Amino acid sequence: MKNTVRFAVTMVAALGLGACGGTSTAGTGTSSASTIKAAWIYVGPITDHGWTQAHDEGRKYVEQQLGSSVQTTYKENVPEGPQVAQVVEDLIRDGNKIIFGTSFGFQDAMYAEAQKHPDVKFEQATGTKTAANMGEYFGAAEDADYLTGMALGAASKKGKIGFVAPFPIPEVIREINAITLGAQTTHPGATVQVVWTNTWFDPTKEKQAAQSLLSLGVDAIGQGQDSPATGDAAKAVNVPWSGYDSDQSSYAPNIWLTGTVYHWGPYYTKRVKAAMDGSWKSDNYYGSIADGMIGLAPYGSSVAQSVQSQINAKMEALKSGSFYEFKGPLKDQSGAVKVPSGTKLSVSDLYAIDWFVQGVIGSPKGS
């Protein structure tokens, strides 16, 4: 069976069928020569209006682009723990040839499974480990985070911004840093206070964390969480709110500012195609606002026109490369210069970042 599938995939590659499909029968009937099975593993539900939903929209985009030549499947609500290996095993048994793990905590299990199954391609979002058959991908969310920070800073009267944060890991730390730097351009001296929830998705905890910040009098609030619960808390006290992952404005349109969004679809399509035609290679892909993997959600009605054009101008500068958010001089929380003038943080610096810029209140080590 394995050999049949490998043969089938080779045939597809040889014929260069790509997206044009065809109806050749491979004999076993379990897998026709022209299709590839691709699977996604999600940490939350596909209806979370956030991170997981964005990935699932990417999966649907793949189906749309590649039509009958791809058969996709997904597993939602998979906890970051020993179950991941089990889920991967099941997916491989079902004949999936490329598997996308979409949460940081899946990484170790994905890596271990990649060692066991060299004929399956593994793709890990937001990770750091790669292998010959395991690639890693993520987007420079900090580009859009910086712009979101500008909206938060402009919305805050007192310059006291709150941020509901999941885990103290580099991707979240650079997100908070970017938001703080962005906020300080529209509101000099603005501070961003962080509360850690230690979860990606738990609306009750997210709301409690948001309430704890709002009770301190923050007058604008952002989030790195996957649900819109922060907005729900902000709505009750009418405080401007920025979201994350998807356009969440429908939850609280009056206080919605904007938020970082991901467009995973084009990347997924490219990788599934590559797995089909045999050109797939392990990679460490870092998308950006320039290549469209990262974007900014539509502005809410409360964002003034002047602020919108200020943010749009900065977005163009980011896209053209004439502006980079993590360029020195950058000071840490104690005021010491961390990145000297003229120096830029590299992608590998960003993947290891463990310090907050000046203006962040809270510990980069977590609660």
Partner 1 sequence: MINNTILVVIAASAISYGTPLLFAALGELLAERSGVLNLGVEGMMLIGAVSGFWAVQTVGGPGWVVLLAAVVVAALAAAATSLIHAVLTISLRASQIVSGLALTIFAGASGLSSYIGHVASLGGKPARHEFDAINVLGLQDTPVIGPILFHQNALTYVSWVLVVLTLLYLYRTRPGLHLRAVGESPATADAMGVNVTAYRYVHVMIGGALAGIGGAFFSLAITPGWLDGMTSGAGWIAIALVIFAFWRPELALVGAYLFGAFSSLAFTLQARQVHLPPEVFASLPYLMTVIVLVLVSTGWARQRLGAPASLGVPYVREER
Kindly tell me which of 323 and 355 has the beta carbon lying closer to partner 1.
355
What is the contact mask toward partner 1 in residues 338 to 367, using x (rule: CB under 8 A)?
-------------------------x---x
- Using DSSP's 3-state secondary structure scheme, residue 58 falls into helix
What is the contact mask toward partner 1 in residues 17 to 36, using x (rule: CB under 8 A)?
--------------------
Q: Determine, following the binding rule CB under 8 A, whether residue 57 of this chain makes contact with partner 1.
A: no
Q: Determine, following the binding rule CB under 8 A, whether residue 239 of this chain makes contact with partner 1.
A: no
Give the residue among 52, 251, 242 at the shortest CA–CA distance from 147: 242
Q: Determine, following the binding rule CB under 8 A, whether residue 49 of this chain makes contact with partner 1.
A: yes
The number of angstroms, rounded, from the C-alpha of 350 to the middle of its chain's C-alpha atoms is 15
Q: From CA 17, how far away is CA 138, in angstroms rounded?
A: 29
Q: Determine, following the binding rule CB under 8 A, whether residue 198 of this chain makes contact with partner 1.
A: yes
Q: From CA 208, how far away is CA 218, in angstroms rounded?
A: 14
Q: What's the closest the beta carbon of residue 138 comes to partner 1, in angstroms? A: 24
What is the contact mask toward partner 1 in residues 203 to 232, using x (rule: CB under 8 A)?
xxx-xxx-xxx-xxx---------xxx--x
- Using DSSP's 3-state secondary structure scheme, residue 344 falls into strand
Q: Determine, following the binding rule CB under 8 A, whether residue 4 of this chain makes contact with partner 1.
A: no
Kindly tell me which of 312 and 367 has the beta carbon lying closer to partner 1.
367
Do residues 26 and 32 touch, judged by C-beta distance below 8 A? yes
Q: What single string gives the DSSP state of each residue in 296-324?
A: EPPPPTTS-HHHHHHHHHHHHHHHHTS--
Q: What's the closest the beta carbon of residue 321 comes to partner 1, in angstroms? A: 36
Residues 139-178 that bind partner 1 (CB under 8 A): none
Output DSSP code: residue 278: T
Q: Determine, following the binding rule CB under 8 A, whether residue 191 of this chain makes contact with partner 1.
A: no
Give the interface size with partner 1 as a residue count (CB under 8 A).
34
Kindly tell me which of 162 and 182 has the beta carbon lying closer to partner 1.
162
From candidates 195, 276, 289, 296, binder to partner 1 by CB under 8 A: 195
Residues 59-98 that bind partner 1 (CB under 8 A): 77
From candidates 180, 197, 242, 269, binder to partner 1 by CB under 8 A: 197
Q: Determine, following the binding rule CB under 8 A, whether residue 271 of this chain makes contact with partner 1.
A: no
Tokens of 345: 């943080």
Q: What's the closest the beta carbon of residue 350 comes to partner 1, in angstroms? A: 26
Give the residue among 130, 141, 106 at the shortest CA–CA distance from 284: 130
Q: Which residues contact 291 (CB under 8 A, 6 or more apart)?
A: none
Q: What single string gives the DSSP state of each residue in 107-151?
A: HHHHHHHHHH-TTSEEEEET----BTTEEEEEE-HHHHHHHHHHH
Do residues 260 and 223 touch, judged by C-beta distance below 8 A? no
Residues lying near partner 1 in the complex (CB under 8 A) are found at: 45-49, 53, 77, 193, 195-198, 202-205, 207-209, 211-213, 215-217, 227-229, 232, 236, 250-251, 363, 367
